Structure 1
């Protein structure tokens, strides 16, 4: 993506400026009317790119497509969808009938993804240990997908996030979070071989994963922790201790995205209906709410965020479950949606 070529200093200043402005409640953002392409208002709140029709829908994770559209996993049904964010439309790419729910997703090549599947009680968030597996999903130019099993992982307790960390001529290796075991599995996507490469009390409840600058960043949602660990980029093993970046028991960290130069983390707070920014350049790691709030119905139940560079814009897309886990104000729920924020 072209935004990766921005100079670190320039990008860092832009990100800090955006956080500063957003933090005082002035949102210099563009908006797109719900499912209506082309309409923008320079002083409105963040926009809705797409929303499902029915309550009970739940978007778990997002990956980028090569054409700047999105591909998502759903937790209420075992389906992978593509989202055309410019047109405000979506379609089912494929389903994985061997499981009840889909969770993590990571791109391993152009329009090829690893998807984590399993069985989960979405009311209690209780997983069925032994039900989890990893699949390769390929999507063609028409948005039609196929799913093929990479590996069943019956010894896993609760697989969740997945991240691509190593590509070779012969394969792509990914790391998969097992919240139940506080562990990371390394999976060879070509031959299906897997093993635990890190297991540590500091990873208890490990959920979403991102790789950047030799570090694996993670959230442990149940324990309300955001941290990182340096990795051996060949083996996927830890080469240093786990560092806790955020351990604030008033915040429920879920899916997150990192600024391309690693200066800022943007994070969904799940049951707290907000997106926060964490300044990773400041050793105190200060946080600020940049959108939503505990009583806000704008992004009920945000589950994750994802960067996309679309034309001149840096866009942060936000996935939600519509407040299924914790209705806003005790009663408000809505269908899951993809919202977006123009950062500059």
Structure 2
């Protein structure tokens, strides 16, 4: 900032040419307009829907019921919570179920209205899974009394993570295995599973800490999409109607977010094919165009906006159309500025018009 002269006599010293003043003013106005345009273009209105009152509370994943309620899985405890009417100013949040026998939950997907498949296991530290401890469960939240049934143990798994049901056959669920770099196909009714996909595009890189490869999984059209945490890329492969890799198909890279993130966690699609991805350890919400170009829509490594963001899901109610709900772990994996953490929270973002 240039200080104003303290007296009239000082103006004799501070008297640049008129042309210089006009040029500087034009440059200032042009720069101001540019910054305003950028701010408007990147503006993403948000509000905190719910935040747990104490630490640690790491929200790992989000599913959305047909009535619009959010179903949350917790990594720091084997618990499922429900946020009722998240579009309201002060929605209620209640414990749905607490499991026993393992430490935390991960992916969740709806198989039929109000019935979900969830996976869980043990951890010896943040992101450090205990091999052989993982299992898949079916949870029904339609009635006042939640019902829970074990589907199957997966003893050979080292780290089950993202979960997605086939849209055309929701009895079939695909499960990401992050440590070994595989995708399991689970037949919920038959209680049987097998490996349908693996290899270098799913395995964690040699230097990855924690060793996480394939992470989030989604299905759009006939394709299985997955995020790769250590490569920071999204891939896809075509599926057949049985939920296996289609014959004569190849794995395609959809986007590479190496320039915008140092880690890639979960993601979801909007109705126009854009990808909304969360980055966890560097606290960013990314938007990826259908053409694969990524930008930071919200957050940064130095703020708590979405610190430790782990999951993203769009609302299903007419009252929250276009609202993206982002869950966080409170930056437990990498504290903001090296020291700052907070309880996990759900943040709602109004995505209308963004990236268009």
User: What TM-score do you get using the length of structure 1 for normalisation?
Assistant: 0.83
| 3-state secondary structure, aligned to 1:24 | helix
Q: C-alpha separation between the residues in 1 aligned to 2:110 and 2:36?
A: 30
**Residue aligning to 2:289:** 279
Return the offset for 1:29. Answer: 7.3
Q: C-alpha separation between the residues in 2 aligned to 1:149 and 1:295?
A: 41
Alignment of 1:26 onto 2:40:
yes
Return the offset for 1:160. Answer: 0.3
Q: C-alpha separation between the residues in 2 aligned to 1:238 and 1:200?
A: 16
**Residue aligning to 1:76:** 76
**Residue aligning to 2:47:** 47
| 3-state secondary structure, aligned to 1:223 | coil
Q: C-alpha separation between the residues in 2 aligned to 1:215 and 1:22?
A: 39
Residues 166-315 of structure 1 aligned to structure 2 (within 5 Å): 167-168=168-169, 172-204=171-203, 205-239=213-247, 240-250=249-259, 251=261, 252-262=263-273, 264-280=274-290, 282=291, 285-311=292-318, 313-315=321-323
Q: C-alpha separation between the residues in 2 aligned to 1:219 and 1:177?
A: 10
Return the offset for 1:166. Answer: 5.2
Return the offset for 1:122. Answer: 3.6
**Residues 1:321 and 1:198: Cα distance change in structure 2 (over 3 Å):** same
Q: C-alpha separation between the residues in 1 aligned to 2:58 and 2:173?
A: 24
- Retained in 1: the 8 A contact 2:67–2:316? no
| 3-state secondary structure, aligned to 1:25 | helix
Structure 1 unmatched ranges of 5 or more: 1-20, 31-44
- Retained in 2: the 8 A contact 1:314–1:342? yes
- Retained in 2: the 8 A contact 1:184–1:198? yes
Structure 2 unmatched ranges of 5 or more: 1-34, 204-212
Choose the corresponding residue for 2:132, options 130, 133, 136.
130
Q: C-alpha separation between the residues in 1 aligned to 2:195 and 2:120?
A: 18
Encode CA deviations 1:226-278: one digit per residue, 9 max, x unaligned: 2111111324224422112233435211111101242x000111111111100
| 3-state secondary structure, aligned to 1:202 | coil
Q: C-alpha separation between the residues in 1 aligned to 2:348 and 2:43?
A: 10
User: What TM-score do you get using the length of structure 2 for normalisation?
Assistant: 0.80
Q: C-alpha separation between the residues in 1 aligned to 2:168 and 2:302?
A: 43
Deviating beyond 6 angstroms after TM superposition, the runs of 4 or more aligned structure 1 residues are: 27-30
Q: Once superposed, what is the RMSD of the aligned Cα atoms? A: 2.1
Return the offset for 1:65. Answer: 0.8
| 3-state secondary structure, aligned to 1:157 | coil
Residues 141-180 of structure 1 aligned to structure 2 (within 5 Å): 141-142=143-144, 144-165=145-166, 167-168=168-169, 172-180=171-179
| 3-state secondary structure, aligned to 2:271 | coil
What is the aligned length? 302
**Residue aligning to 1:103:** 106
Encode CA deviations 1:155-206: one digit per residue, 9 max, x unaligned: 11211001001555xx700000011221111001112110011122111111
| 3-state secondary structure, aligned to 1:26 | helix
Larger radius of gyration: 2
**Residue aligning to 1:115:** 118
